[in-house]
Amino acid sequence: MISKQEVKNQIYKQKGFTLIEVIIYISISSVLLIVVLSFIRNFLIVRNKITIKSKVQQNARYAMARMVKEVRYADDLEVVDQNTLRLYVGDSERNPIYFDLQDGVLYIKEGLGEFVAITGNDVKVGDVLFEDRTTPNSADIVKITLTISNLETSKSPDSQSTINLNTYVAKR
């Protein structure tokens, strides 16, 4: 027969973890932690890329839409140089309207007002090219080429985004 003392000793011996059990537990936990952290890291990288690309696209689309709208409703237009467009409109307070590229920022100036940026601080306009494509017996046509990228200074490809837009616009 087993005494009460022997039963107690067996119970106490079985309460703890063995060294092998602890090592297996730590190994499994480490692998799971590495997988979870890797997933979170990849998620953050993708989210950053999407955010950067979205900002660039939003600025490019807004700037292009604004220029197209103003050209369509202009009475006359003049390509001053490849980076400057002058529009003449019927509203004397807004006449003339200028689009101009200065130091990576696209500006609009209406009438006697100040130049106002139409692109954000977090993007850089690489190029805005205005080309007069008017032909004899046609309405005034201007080709607009716009290149915008983000201002991220990191060399990482994950933080770079550039968009190029081209369009032809005719006065109405």
Tokens 């107690």, residue? 8
Please report, for the chain, the start and end positions of each structural domain, with discontinuous segments joined by +.
17-170
Q: Is the pLDDT of residue 159 over 70?
A: yes
Question: Three-state SS across 115-158?
Answer: CEECCCCCEEEEEEEEEECCCCCCCCEEEEEEEEEECCCCCCHH
Share of the chain above pLDDT 70, in %: 92
Of the pLDDT bands very low, low, confident and very high (cuts 50, 70, 90), residue 10 is low
pLDDT for residue 7: 65
